[in-house]
Amino acid sequence: MKSTSRVLSGDAAAALPSIAWQNIGPQQPSVPGVSVVGSGRDEDATAYQARIRELEQGTAQKIQQAYREGEAAGAQQAAARVQPLLEKLALTIAEVSGFKAQFRKEAEQDLVKLAISIARRVLHRELTVDPEALVGIVRVALSRMDTRDCRRVRVSPADADAIKAALSRLGPAVNVEVAPDSRLERGSVVFDTSRGQLDGSIETQLQEIERGFTDLVRRS
């Protein structure tokens, strides 16, 4: 059988429809570094698979390394943030320890002042209710000194009568002038002697007691 062919050109060739030719066999994707020549060759497929595994392993290693580096950097950053807080906490603990001793001393001093304040109110109330309470103070003071040296006892005008009556009951051996002094508050007793003045007032004695306790607390 004899076949013949004819070559078309010009307008006749342009009028023919175009034909899309399909590739026969599997198509291989392009991989960097791997050149596939031809198709279906065993050595090319093996090289391709090896390259894929190499890329997978390299990617996994880089991910693990990046994770470790990030974890270490995060730990360092966290430590850098925590360290100043720990130092500040240690300083605060040291300050609190010092404040504890100071607070204890201040609290003890406040307790002394409170006790003296309570004693002061109680004694002044006793003197208001029972003026004879001051008489005991005068008697004790006179018993500790030579009555011949005592020239005068100065007291508050509110206490003068009670003191005069008490001294008169002691007999002629105690011949001391009782002088009301408006400058003195109730409970005050000042002895004028040949050697000077002796303040036996309740307030003065309370102040002495307070100073003694305060000094004791400061030395402790």
CA–CA separation, 68 and 140 (whole Å): 90
Question: In this predicted structure, what is the pLDDT of residue 34?
Answer: 45
Would you state the pLDDT for residue 181?
92
Q: Which of 111, 137, 130, 114 is nearest to 199 (CA)?
A: 137
CA distances 70 to 30, 43, 59, 61, 79, Å, are: 34, 41, 16, 14, 14
More confident residue, 77 or 33: 77
Least confident of 99-103, 161-165, 185-189: 99-103
pTM, entire model: 0.44
What per-residue confidence (pLDDT) applies to 70?
A: 63
Residue 103 predicted with pLDDT over 60: yes
Q: What is the mean pLDDT of residues 134-140?
A: 78
| Matching residue, tokens 């000094």 | 215
pLDDT of residue 43: 65
Q: Is the per-residue pLDDT at 46 higher than 60?
A: yes
Side-by-side strand order, sheet with 189-193:
177-180, 150-155, 189-193, 196-199
- Can you tell me which residue has the tokens 């002495």? 208
